[in-house]
Amino acid sequence: MWGSNARETHPIFFHHVLRALKNGANLYVVDPRVTSTARFAKRHVPVRVGGDIALANAVARVILDERLENRTFIQRATADFEVYQRSLEDYTPEAAQRFTGVDPAIVREMALDFARADRAMICWTLGITEHHHAVENVWALINLALLCGHVGRYGAGVNPLRGQNNVQGGGDMGALPHKLPGFLDVEDPVARGNYERLWGATIPPEKGWTLTEMFRAMEREELRALWVIGENPAQSEADAGHVRELLSRLDHLVVQDLFLTKTAQLADVVLPACAGFAESEGTVTNSERRVQRVRRALAPPGEAKDDLWIVGEMSKRLGRDFGQPTAEQLWDEMRTHSPLHRGMSYARIEALGGIQWPCPDTDSLGASFLHGRLWEEPVRGPRAPFHSVAHTEPAEALCEEFPLRLTTGRRLSEYNTGVQSGSISSPLVRDEALELSPSDFAALGLREGDRVRVRSRRGSVTAPVRVDPGLPKGLVFLTLHQPGRVDTNLLTIEATDPRAGTAEFKAAAVAVERCE
């Protein structure tokens, strides 16, 4: 587990991990904090925030030095290995320690266990992706899997654990700036042409903006109107103060949500929507690419309408009447164009309790392993490339004025900005507080019950304090769950990965002072 506190953020996935541990699996948890996940590990690997690439490269270096790489797999199924091997020259565990903070003996142990395992997998979450070098971080982990052939077969693989119930499905259905429904490329003229004929409309031939690019476009005043569906960027985006200002400056803001969120409060028009999991029909796709049905169990309150209905009516008012198709009709339409989903009728999803893509036809279930082709003889399709990646420091360096590293995460009973989870009256929920290591707590002369002012270059908040013995010296921790109490995103930095558009929620530089 790399950059993931799955015990709290993906508890039922972690049950499967626990079962593997009982069957003798070794668990390494790479995380700057000693999390509740780390307590189940054979070894906690206390990487410094932003040291993931250096650590992964050091692991690779050990594997190669010990000649434990899977030569046959590398030769048959991968590309660019030699360049990658050369790029590891400077990453002995000893040399990398400067960036990773990890004892070379632990790096060696992890490398040997990973390489010698018959089957090994790497799972990660936002600890990997909420950095300005998110994509490089992911490549660094993929390199490790390729090095040992731990991909495309039973019990192996690289797995990002999705943070929301339909992140995967939303992307699969084209809710990405470069994708059409069925995960087809918007810049592919054939795919685009098919949808143009189907919809009787012209689709812009180049990819659109990511969320972060949209905010930049608002800065340039190129983006003047925004329709926000089920998202609360006024509180969930990094550098939230700036985001709120940009949203307020728009000519027109429409927010479609269940609640009058902070974002909805800025809107010109609010469209009350249905709760996807209980008040409407459709599908969602989980982290294992399993498409499952959501169903209506409750009548929606008041004037709330199904998202589908709202989009249909909006389209009608914009001059194109698609009628009011059911979720299933839309799904079937998409299936005719998406080879990944073609075999998934609602009836079949129902009968099988969910189906994983790819599922190209209604007679079979398709391949179990997404990258199983890498083991075919000869390898079908392109070879899987190694990507040489180098260590980069977090965008914001620590300095005399901002000497502490702030990182963010989730807690078990809470979720994102608390819009949904605020209704859970779990005894585990405590008032949000800045967590500090025992040594920083002492160095700042703090006592339980004190309040502190936390400042970054972008804003400041006040918060109560708590000691977390699982934090290393120099690292402080906050969540985004209770923005009404502690507006954490006023502090975070919107330095984003240029490819993924993810902001560096995991690494801001802050100063902490006791409030008198």
- Determine if the peptide bond prior to 378 is cis (ω within 30°): yes
From candidates 52, 239, 279, 497, binder to other proteins by CB under 8 A: 279
Two tokens, residue 200 = 């009787």
DSSP assignment of 174-236: T-STTEETTTEETT-HHHHHHHHHHHTS---SS----HHHHHHHHHTT---EEEEES--HHHH
From candidates 197, 423, 445, 447, binder to other proteins by CB under 8 A: 423
Regarding 284 and contact with other proteins (CB under 8 A), the answer is yes
Q: Of how many residues is the chain composed?
A: 516
Between residues 19 and 473, which has the closer beta carbon with respect to other proteins?
19
- Determine if the peptide bond prior to 358 is cis (ω within 30°): yes
Regarding 484 and contact with other proteins (CB under 8 A), the answer is no
Binding track, positions 239-268, relative to other proteins; x by CB under 8 A: -------------------xx---------
Closest separation in Å from C-beta 270 to other proteins: 13
Regarding 415 and contact with other proteins (CB under 8 A), the answer is yes
With residue 135 as reference, give the H or E element that holds it. helix 134-148
From candidates 121, 161, 191, 334, binder to other proteins by CB under 8 A: 161
C-alpha 504/C-alpha 3 separation (Å) is 13
Q: Segment contacting other proteins (CB under 8 A): 87-95, 384-392, 416-424, 459-467?
A: 416-424
Which residues lie across from 511 on neighbouring strands?
455
Between residues 97 and 280, which has the closer beta carbon with respect to other proteins?
280
Side-chain half-sphere exposure of 454, counting CA atoms within 13 A: 29
CA–centroid distance for 9 within its chain: 12
392, exposed or middle or buried, with CB in 10 Å at 0-12, 13-18, 19+? middle
Regarding 231 and contact with other proteins (CB under 8 A), the answer is no
Give strand ranges (E) for 230-305.
252-257, 269-272, 282-285, 290-294
Closest separation in Å from C-beta 81 to other proteins: 23
Between residues 200 and 427, which has the closer beta carbon with respect to other proteins?
427
b (16+ CB within 10 A) / e for 60-94: bbbbbeeebbbeebbebbbebbeebbebbeebbbe
Q: Segment contacting other proteins (CB under 8 A): 397-405, 418-426, 438-446, 484-492?
A: 418-426
Q: Segment contacting other proteins (CB under 8 A): 232-240, 274-282, 324-332, 401-409?
A: 274-282
Closest separation in Å from C-beta 307 to other proteins: 13
Tell me if 461 sits within 8 A of 491, measured CB to CB. Answer: yes
Regarding 427 and contact with other proteins (CB under 8 A), the answer is yes
From candidates 132, 150, 162, 481, binder to other proteins by CB under 8 A: 162
From candidates 425, 447, 449, 516, binder to other proteins by CB under 8 A: 425
DSSP assignment of 459-500: -EEEEEEEE-TTSPTTEEEEESS-TTT--GGGTSEEEE-TTT
Between residues 279 and 504, which has the closer beta carbon with respect to other proteins?
279
Closest separation in Å from C-beta 293 to other proteins: 7
Closest separation in Å from C-beta 52 to other proteins: 21
Tell me if 291 sits within 8 A of 283, measured CB to CB. Answer: yes
From candidates 167, 176, 211, 379, binder to other proteins by CB under 8 A: 167
Distance in Å from the first CA to the final CA of the chain: 41
Contacts with 318 (C-beta within 8 Å, 6 or more apart), sequence order: none
Q: Tell me whether strands 451-455 and 460-467 are parallel, antiparallel or unpaired.
A: antiparallel
C-alpha 93/C-alpha 104 separation (Å) is 5
Task: Return the SS3 of 509.
Answer: strand
Handedness of CA 327, 328, 333, 336 (dihedral sign): positive
Between residues 64 and 412, which has the closer beta carbon with respect to other proteins?
412
Between residues 9 and 263, which has the closer beta carbon with respect to other proteins?
9
Binding track, positions 352-381, relative to other proteins; x by CB under 8 A: -xx----------x-xxx--x--x------
Binding track, positions 286-325, relative to other proteins; x by CB under 8 A: xxx-x-xxxxxxxx-xx-x---------------------
From candidates 70, 392, 413, 460, binder to other proteins by CB under 8 A: 413
C-alpha 47/C-alpha 127 separation (Å) is 11
Name the amino acid, one letter, at 171.
Answer: G
Regarding 190 and contact with other proteins (CB under 8 A), the answer is no
Closest separation in Å from C-beta 137 to other proteins: 18
Regarding 175 and contact with other proteins (CB under 8 A), the answer is no
Q: Segment contacting other proteins (CB under 8 A): 26-34, 133-141, 213-221, 417-425?
A: 417-425
Binding track, positions 47-86, relative to other proteins; x by CB under 8 A: ----------------------------------------
C-alpha 66/C-alpha 86 separation (Å) is 16
C-alpha 153/C-alpha 88 separation (Å) is 26
Closest separation in Å from C-beta 416 to other proteins: 9
Residues numbered 116-145 forming contacts with other proteins, rule: CB under 8 A: none
Between residues 191 and 273, which has the closer beta carbon with respect to other proteins?
273
Between residues 76 and 207, which has the closer beta carbon with respect to other proteins?
76
Task: Please report, as ranges, the residues that interact with other proteins according to CB under 8 A.
Answer: 9-13, 15, 18-19, 22, 40, 153-155, 161-168, 258-259, 275-279, 284-288, 290, 292-299, 301-302, 304, 353-354, 365, 367-369, 372, 375, 412-413, 415, 419-428
